[in-house]
Chain A
Amino acid sequence: MLRLAWRNLLRTPGRNLATGGVVALVVFLSLVFLSVYAGAFDAFFRLLLERTGHLVVRVESYREKEDLEALTFAPPALPLPPGTQVEGVLEGQALVIAGERSRAAVLTGLEAGGLERQRKLLKAGRLPQASGEALLGEALARALKVGLGDEVVAYAPGGMGLGIFPFRVVGLLDLPETHLEARTLVVGLGDAQALLFPGRVTRLEIRLSGIGLYDQEPLEALKARLKPHLEGLTVETWLEANPLYAALLPLYDTVMALYVGIFFLLGGLILLNALYLSLVERVREFGLLSALGLTGRRVMALVFWESLLLVGVSALVGAGLGLLLHLELLDGFRLPLPQWILEQYREFGLPEVLYGRLGVKEVLLTLGYAVGVALLAALWPGYLASRLEPVEAMRYVP
């Protein structure tokens, strides 16, 4: 039966080569698409993780609180596994004054590691190295008409700190969102505490090493271990801290399945057409098979075998080529998009070089679609073939 199916395919090599080519192309494109898509997705979430840290400690129900005093806390001693980094961040409102101009801004005090992460955003100048040095959003600097080396004064009365602090602008930041850029002042944590609240932070960022990007289990485990040490405080994973983006995560699978499904739908229609044509051309032969004693079910099986063989061989070729290209993407690639789209991309803070990712899940999804399409496309022609009346079919004139 398999041999018969195979020889029947070889009979119209041109058409089956074209159909197989389409199937191979669909499998190929689907794998490449998935690799690129996962790469872009990972880049986006890695960025989010980097900004947030694996775990974030803040005061309880911080989302409802506004007052700086209620939002800050003295960092408690935490039992952390070795290799874990903890950084305090103090964030508060401040008025930034330069000569006769002033602007409301968000002052962020960062430890050394946090400042280091600003390097990628640095448009001009350098990172603060000593007390009294600050980074200014480029748009804020423009609004205040200050540049590198100029002095600004941060004014934030009402806290337990000095309430006023002079800074020298040593660097300008280019942020994805301009409205944030116009409100950004980044300084060392010590300076921020002196100005706003000595000894306190608004959040602790905990970064672990050696865990996978979407690996939530070790985070949950650590969360549970920290809980008893956090009176009046709450700890969230990076995904919990970014609920809007976290909601995108389950969409990944849906979008992936949908896009690949559309590819395969087109491939499936072409396959259906080829199978249908070969049925019409061979009505007499199907009649003979039935006359010789093939039951409808076995006639249908023959059509299914032909479809599966054609798709199987083509899918293997397509998958081979797709995996080869994926190996290239694995080492990093630039999105082949026009400059203006890339511009928006960069605005968002996404890296220009992405790294392809293909998991077993993605490969299985693609091959599963291929098999599914082979079966689905064979369903109708197979049914028609199985219903042929042998006598009529053998009399059929194509």
Chain B
Amino acid sequence: MPIVEAKGVRKVYRGDGVETEALRGVDLRLEAGEFTALVGPSGSGKSTLLHILAGLDLPTEGEVWVGGVRLDRLSRAERARFRLEHVGLVFQAYNLLPVLTALENAAFVLELRGLSRPERERRAMAALEALGLADKAGRFPRQLSGGEQQRVAVARALAAEPLLVLADEPTANLDSKTGLALIERMQALNEERGVTFLFSTHDPRLLAHVKRIVRLEDGRLVGEEWP
């Protein structure tokens, strides 16, 4: 069974009398253990698709299955609970709560799930170590570089052991070297631990590291590559 299955997903934004068709019938399957990049020009619908797969937004039409659950049939609160339990999210920026340390941020999802403090700190610490941040665990986000902040966000997703990690341009705010380092970390996690990643990017140099590239243009999937 695929981890993600989108069938005929359409998304129309309505607002101020303007209708924008961001997705025009997208079909996509992801299997466990994939390491996939979502590429396409600006405005092609990458963010929209990732949001819908994460249950952050609802499709106008079509079905979205994640881990055997039909997301577009769930209520707002049910989708929130589903994200908490099963989806890791990394955004372009503002990923971390500024009042919590790196360790507390990495443990935050586990805290929300109700894990005991020693248990969640053990797992968060292990995740920080996997991302090479063990020595920065006690720092607050403002004391971390942009790359380190993004790695903490990945560590948070990793510690939560989700079905899959969705990342919307995780490297967009980083210089190319730091961005590359982040993708290499993600790649290692994918290879060593089988974490499933789907991330969008504009940076062609990152694509050398992925197993699969999905190309989106004007709201349609226009091709796939397996480099």
Contact = CB atoms under 8 A, between A and B. Distances in A.
Q: Give the dominant DSSP class at A's interface.
A: helix
B95 A288 contact: yes
Contacts of B89: 291-292
Contacts, number: 60
B85 A293 contact: yes
> B interface, by DSSP: helix, strand, loop or mixed?
helix
Contacts of B80: 290, 293-296
B108 A394 contact: no
B56 to A, nearest CB: 5
Contacts of B98: 11, 285
Contacts of B109: 292-293
Query: Chain A: interface residue count, which band?
Result: 20 to 34
B108 A284 contact: no
Interface residues of B, number: 26
Contacts of A390: 56
A249 B80 CA distance: 54
A10 B76 CA distance: 31
A143 interface: no
Nearest to B91: A394
A8 interface: yes
A292 B77 contact: no
B97 A4 contact: yes
Contacts of B95: 288
B112 interface: yes
A169 B50 CA distance: 103
Interface in B35-56: 51, 54, 56
Contacts of B85: 293
B34 to A, nearest CB: 22
B97 A285 contact: yes
Interface string A286-304: 0011111111111000000
A394 B80 CA distance: 15
B99 A7 contact: yes
Nearest to A293: B84
A300 B122 CA distance: 29
Contacts of A296: 76-77, 80
Interface of B: 51, 54, 56-57, 76-77, 80-85, 87, 89, 91, 94-95, 97-100, 104, 108-109, 111-112
22 contacts: A3-B104, A7-B100, A8-B99, A285-B94, A288-B91, A289-B97, A291-B56, A292-B84, A292-B112, A293-B80, A293-B81, A293-B87, A293-B109, A294-B80, A294-B112, A295-B76, A295-B77, A296-B77, A389-B57, A390-B56, A394-B91, A394-B94
